Chains A and B, each alone.
Chain A
Amino acid sequence: MFKKINSDKVTKIVLVSVASVIILVAGGMVFSLVGGAIPAFQKFGIGFIFSGTWDPTAGRESYGAMPFIAGTVITSVLALLIALPLSFSTSLFLGEYYRNKPVAKILGTMVDLLAGIPSIVYGLWGFYVLRPVLVDMGLPNQGFGVFTASLILAIMIIPYATSLSNEIIAMVPSDLKEAAYSLGATRLEVITNVTLPAARSGIFAGYILAFGRALGETMAVTMLIGNSNLIPKGLFSTGNSMASLIANQFGEAEGLKLSSLIAIGLILFVLTGIINGIGKMIIKRMG
């Protein structure tokens, strides 16, 4: 009845086709990771995930993911805990106390700058500047270990946690806050009783996403975690994260070892996917 011009149809087809590329890439990624990991899972079964051995000696190769899952999770959780008070304060500074003031702009820019520093530069600074300070303070293992890595990781994820939270905090409607002020509340009381409850899920989502970032960080962690392939026993033991293991051991890896590394990559992919998915879902729920 109503005729459509051909070129518009072609345009539509082009748009859909190109958009499909990204789907193919994602699908291909899963396919390749799973395919590459299969040999390892075939050899070690599902126990691969829980096994604590990483022994590349020829003849009795045995690989397991647990030390690295532990390393990743411990450093990321610790990093989040360290980052929390700092990032939280910064969000309040930017979104509440000094909102729209010039000093907030400057601070905001500097926090953005933190996000722009490449991982390897953080690693260098951690290695040459932070580590000696920590060694002076009594840290064992030459300052390498879970704690040091977590500390640097914390600094790295602060901008991610801050940027989402401070927007959410700034979005809390002023009439809610003014109602509280007019009842005689102090700034602190308005923040704890009005602003934070309103911004709660946004702030939470910000931290989840920051956690997701921490899970995948490679270079800085590699340079500071000590690179031992055992489950970290204590706060200051050395260890390895999934990402740092892959970076370190990839060089001449082949066969079963390569497959195990790919399997660990798959586990990392799934883990970050889940965490990021949760964060995004929370944001969606907030509308």
Chain B
Amino acid sequence: MQNTDTHRNKGLPRTRLLKDKAARWLVIAFSVLTISPIILIIYKLIVKGIGQISFDFVTQTTPDTFEAMTAVASGERIPGGIANGIAGTVLMVVLASVIAIPIGIITGIYLYENQGKKRADFVRNISDILQGVPSIVLGLIAYLWVVKHITQGFSALAGSAALAIMMLPMMVRSTEETFKMIPVSLKEAALALGVPYYRVILQVMIPTGFSGIMTGILLAVSRVIGETAPLMLTALGSTLVNWDVTRPTSAIPLLIWEFYNDPNMVGLIWSSSLLLMGLVLIFNLLSKWIASNRT
């Protein structure tokens, strides 16, 4: 492009050329400025956080504030780890996935099967609206529905509910898009063999669209892993590793918030964030890799 630009620019008035050059440099400068935060943030996380990461860090639960205080006072590394947060995140994300993925996929198939129909358009619009709802409002809802009425108290179930509602629209959209890309003749070939429609879905369409659906799942997971706000209103947090969905649970972002608010534990925020970012990145990259292998 550079060559064609200069070729075309021969013999033009100087101001226009200067403006053009200036514009290009401005665009480049601003673009670099735009991505600088990501570089700075990741740099900060690695530099300040890598030191704390260890096997203990992921297997032990959080220290209490006095342990932390004494460690900091004597210049030692704060003991303990974020195992309770990791367990809680795993528990709630898995539970949310179990709820949202089947419902999302089936709804996506419904939309695919009913293109252009009014009722399907309505469902799609509702899904899009749901996608735009702030996560804190979803936390509010999960509080009203689950904490208040189902588990009578903060719980992992409530947290999962909020996360599930977040994941649902994403699954619906990615499933519909995936199915739309499958050639119609494949579906028809299966039907022409006298196969009932539900079998066509399960044995032909879903396997053929598998990578697309998988991409959707991984992206949805990477999105909810880092959510803090809805969990503050639902899962609350816990110092123990908890697998009981009716009790309060910790989560990695919740722990980060707790550390941030406790002057003694502040040293732990960078390593926890590094771990969290690492998880988000893994899922993100996985989904990109699957998407590119699709052909």
Contacts and interface: CB of A to CB of B under 8 A. Distances in A.
Nearest to B169: A22
A113 B107 contact: no
Interface in A101-138: 107, 110-114, 116-125, 127-129
A184 B8 contact: yes
B260 A223 contact: yes
A209 B132 CA distance: 9
Interface string B80-124: 000000000000000000000001001101110100000010110
Contacts of B232: 247, 250
Contact of B133 (A92, A155, A184, A269): A269
Interface in A137-190: 155, 158, 162, 181, 184, 186-189
A8 B196 contact: yes
A273 B129 contact: yes
A215 B196 contact: no
Nearest to A217: B134
A2 B12 CA distance: 74
Contacts of B228: 118-120, 218-219
A212 interface: yes
B134 A216 contact: yes
Interface residues on A, range: 35 or more
B134 A272 contact: yes
B107 A18 contact: yes
A93 B27 contact: yes
In this complex, the member of B8, B136, B168 whose beta carbon has the largest number of chain A beta carbons within 10 angstroms is: B136
A1 interface: no
Contacts of A286: none
Interface residues of B, number: 81
A90 interface: yes
Interface in B109-161: 109-111, 113, 120, 122-123, 126-130, 132-137, 140-141, 143-145
B263 to A, nearest CB: 13
A79 to B, nearest CB: 13
A187 B196 contact: no
B41 A212 contact: no
B81 to A, nearest CB: 18
A67 B64 CA distance: 37
A123 B198 CA distance: 47
Interface string A184-202: 1011110100000000000
Contact of A119 (B5, B229, B270, B277): B229
A265 B269 contact: no
A91 B16 CA distance: 22
Contacts of B133: 29, 216, 269, 272-273
A124 B269 contact: yes
B73 interface: no
A162 B35 CA distance: 12
A86 B26 CA distance: 10
Contacts of A119: 226-229
A93 B28 contact: yes
A7 B129 contact: no
Contacts of A21: 103, 107
B243 interface: no
Contacts of B284: 112-113, 116
Nearest to B5: A187
Given A125-B40, A186-B12, A219-B228, A116 B280 contact: yes
A89 B30 contact: yes
A265 B107 contact: no
Interface stretch (A9-17, A38-46, A49-57, A230-238): A9-17
A217 B168 CA distance: 19
B294 interface: no
A113 B229 CA distance: 21
Contacts of B229: 119, 218-219, 243, 247
A188 B8 contact: no
Contact of B45 (A15, A120, A121, A265): A121
B181 interface: no
The 10 closest A-B pairs by CB, nearest first: A216-B134, A118-B226, A89-B30, A276-B132, A186-B20, A218-B229, A19-B110, A15-B110, A18-B106, A93-B31
22 contacts: A8-B197, A10-B198, A11-B197, A18-B103, A21-B103, A22-B103, A22-B168, A33-B140, A93-B28, A113-B38, A120-B256, A120-B260, A120-B273, A124-B260, A186-B19, A187-B5, A188-B23, A219-B229, A246-B136, A261-B140, A273-B132, A277-B129
